[in-house]
């Protein structure tokens, strides 16, 4: 398995995870976590849930949702957002994580009417194939309230770079048949639109709920 330790200004990749999607390989999380990032930058508040000591600013971006409406930094305001970067042709991590999201959503929206300040978002790292129409057929399949986001590749790259997210396209048998390596962390964006926490892979719904509740209590 190839593991990238590319260092961004925010140095988040050291504990964000990277899935070699082409091989479906796992990720040596604990070894990576101990690699380079000073522990003063984050605290583990629950199993696999990390609260950043200082919230991180996201790059400015303007993308589109799967219903062809705008999605920008403003879409994160006044809500807690569970965010992943993936793509609809992903064979493992993306469908698995969206299924976990559905379990987390079910818990956080009980009793009925609660959870209105929570949203679940997948930003595509494959905008060539992931049109709004493609995302419309994919993301709501897991939950009609989930949001798929796509748009200009340069804008997506600016956002991923600002968060230390790695993604790399690999040539396939044809121009339209390829896989993409990508970070497998779940990112928690706070109601001010800043990166607040990270859920390390592999994600577990019960652990994510517990971690999120602890972060929200601290805030």
33 domain-assigned: yes
Alpha helices (H) along 84-149 = 93-108, 132-142
What per-residue string of b and e applies to 24-37 under the rule 16 or more CB within 10 Å gives b?
Answer: eeebebeebbeeeb
211 domain-assigned: yes
5 domain-assigned: no
For residues 10, 11, 17, 18, the Cα torsion angle rounded to the nearest 10 degrees is 100
Q: Does pLDDT of 40 surpass 60?
A: no
pLDDT tens figures, 96-151: 999 999 999 999 999 876 788 999 999 999 999 999 999 999 999 999 999 999 99
140 CB-side CA count, 13 A: 11
157 domain-assigned: yes
Residue 94 corresponds to which tokens in the numbers above?
């993306």
Number of domains in the chain: 1
Asked if the peptide bond before residue 111 counts as cis, ω within 30 degrees of 0, the response is yes
6 domain-assigned: no
pLDDT tens figures, 44-68: 999 999 999 899 999 999 999 999 9
Question: Does pTM surpass 0.75?
Answer: yes
Question: d(Cα 153, Cα 76) in Å, to the nearest integer?
Answer: 20
Q: Annotate 118-134 with DSSP letters as a single string.
A: EEEEEEES-TTT--HHH
What residues contact 144, with CB distance under 8 A and at least 6 apart?
none
The single-letter DSSP state of residue 67 is: T
3-7, 82-86, 114-118 — most confident range: 82-86
Q: In terms of residue numbers, what domain contains 181?
A: 13-218
Radius of gyration for the chain, computed over Cα atoms and rounded to the nearest angstrom? 16
Model confidence at 41, in pLDDT bands (50, 70, 90)?
confident
The enclosing domain of 17 has a CATH number of 3.40.30.10
């Amino acid at each position: 398995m190839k593991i990238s330790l590319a260092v961004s200004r925010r140095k988040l990749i050291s504990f964000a995870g990277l899935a070699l999607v082409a091989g479906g390989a796992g990720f040596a999380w604990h070894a990576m976590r101990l690699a380079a990032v000073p522990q003063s930058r984050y605290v583990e508040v629950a199993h696999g849930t990390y609260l950043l000591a200082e919230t991180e600013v996201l790059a400015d971006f303007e993308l589109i949702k799967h219903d062809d409406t705008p999605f920008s930094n403003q879409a994160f305001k006044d809500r807690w957002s569970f965010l992943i970067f993936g793509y609809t042709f992903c064979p493992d991590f993306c469908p698995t994580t969206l299924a976990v999201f559905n379990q987390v959503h079910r818990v956080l929206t009980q009793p009925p009417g609660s959870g209105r300040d929570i949203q679940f978002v997948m930003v595509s790292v494959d905008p060539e194939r992931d049109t709004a129409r493609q995302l419309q057929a994919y993301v709501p399949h897991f939950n009609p309230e989930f949001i798929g986001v796509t748009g200009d590749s340069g804008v997506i790259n600016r956002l991923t770079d600002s968060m230390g997210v790695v993604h790399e396209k690999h040539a396939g048998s044809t121009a339209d048949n390829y896989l993409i390596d990508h970070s497998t962390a779940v990112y928690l964006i706070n109601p001010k639109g800043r990166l607040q926490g990270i859920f390390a892979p592999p994600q577990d719904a019960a652990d994510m709920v517990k971690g999120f509740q602890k972060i929200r209590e601290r805030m």
